[in-house]
Amino acid sequence: MNKKAWENIGSRATPQRLEENKYKKMFELFCTKLPKNARVLDLGCGPGRIAKELTCWGFEVIGIDLAGKMIKLAKKKAPKAKYLQMSMTEIKFHDEFDGVVSSFSMLCLDPENFRKTAQKISRALKKNGLFLLSLNEPHPEKSHNEEDNYTEIMGQKIYSRPYTEEEIKDIFSEYDVEIKCVKREILTSKEYGEEYTLIILMQKT
């Protein structure tokens, strides 16, 4: 469902997260902690905005996205990066990356696939490698039900599930990835409305 929807939407509904204060600071912290010429995996790279920033830091970047249209846009936006059209649940890297980024892409995964991808991220990271995860957490004053995970964006039905910090901690700790820093930011946009976002920096032990 999400693949077809994102093919139809393209870059129109991809917000400029790097312009947000706390996300920008965490992204810069992630980049400064990586070694020079680091290899970085961009999961759900979309139209290539994050990939472009990563290549500007001098990193070797591999972008992954399920939507072919997104890959085409990313190649134009960040031509120095390399790309693979595939689901993040299907990656098979082992000890290859100094860093991994998932910028509001893992919220498209249900709990089963979220856990599966967490394990694959751990495998992809080198020892002491860093993982920058950003997604939404549930509204602090509203209950959240399974039917709430489906939303409509620009006429497309999208699966988008928020995750709590505790859920993320429990899942990634099983795969030797520990939380190092957490930031929260409330964002409002025309496309998504009000969002309670989590930006988490983790490290493989």
Query: Where do the structural domains in the chain lie, given as residue ranges?
Result: 2-11+19-204
pLDDT at 139: 79
Q: Which two tokens stand for residue 145?
A: 């039900």
pTM, two decimals, is 0.88
- Residue range 2-11+19-204 in CATH 3.40.50.150: yes
145-168: b (≥16 Cβ within 10 Å) or e = eeeeeeeebeebebebbbbeeeeb
> Is the backbone of residue 37 left (phi > 0), alpha (psi -120 to 50) or beta?
left
Summarised one tens digit per residue, pLDDT across range 51-66 is: 999 999 999 999 999 9
In sequence order, what are the residues at sequence separation of 6 or more whose Cβ sits closer than 8 angstroms to the Cβ of residue 188?
194, 195
Strand pairing class (156-159; 177-189): unpaired
What is the pLDDT confidence band of residue 155, given thresholds at 50, 70 and 90? low
Whole-number mean pLDDT of the chain?
87
